[in-house]
Structure 1
Amino acid sequence: MKKKIIRPSAEEDAAITKAAMADPDNTPFTDEEWEKVKPTLVRGRGRPLGSGAKEQVTLRIDKDILDFYKSKGEGWQTFINQVLGEVKRESKSISTVEKKLNKGTLITNKYKAAA
C-alpha cells in the first residue's frame, strides 16, 4: 500500500516554522547554507544519474537491424553507440560517411575481414 503524505495546513506550517526559528540550538538553514550543503547530499533509491555526456533520442530502426544488435544481449545500446562512434572517428565529416555509404565502402577492409 502506498503511503499517503500528510501536508500541514498553512497555519500549522507557520507554527512549525515559528517554533523552529525560536529554537537556538537548531535553527533552520539559510538559503546560502543550503547552497553549500546541496552538492554533498546523497541520492536515495532510484535510477542513478546519467553521466550528462549522452542524450536520449527516439530513433526508428528496421526491425531486422534492431534484432541483430539486440542479439548481443545486455549492453546492445552501448554497442550501437560504439559502432557509430567508430564510424565517426574513421570519417572526418558526415559527407564522407554518405559518400562511403553510397559506394558501399563505409566499413574498411580490416572490419570486413574480421566479420
Structure 2
Amino acid sequence: MRGYALLRSVCPGGRACGRLWIWSWRGRPAPTRLMIGYVGRTVARERAVEMAEEIRAEMVANVWKVVASAGDTVSEGDTLVILESMKMEIPVVSESDGVVQELAVNEGDVVQDGDLIAVIG
C-alpha cells in the first residue's frame, strides 16, 4: 500500500491540536489522532533538518581554495570554496544566509559529483 502523511496543524509548544491525514492508495483521506509526545519531537526534528542546507559538489573537481571556515557567518552568494576543473575556477557559493556548521573539504582534496562540501545552518 502506498501513501503519505500530512500533519494538518501543530499547537505552540509542539503539541498536536489537529489531525494527521493518512492518504490510502485509493486517494481517500483517513483522519487519525497522534500521541502528543511523538508529534512534538517529530516536528522539532523536521524543522532542524529544514534549517540546515547541504552544499554538494556538482562535478568532479579539485578543491583549489577554501575561503570560509566552520563558524563563519555567511550571506547568500558568499563564496565558500573554489573548485578547479579543466583549468577553470568554479566558486561554490552559499545559497542562503547562515553559519557554516561544517566544512567537509580541505585544499587539495578531490571531490566527486554529489560529495558534501559544507553545511550551512
TM-score, structure 2 normalization: 0.21
More strand by share: 2
Bigger fraction of residues in helix: 1
Pair member with larger Rg: 1
Of structures 1 and 2, the one scoring higher in RCO (CA 8 A, sep 6+) is 2
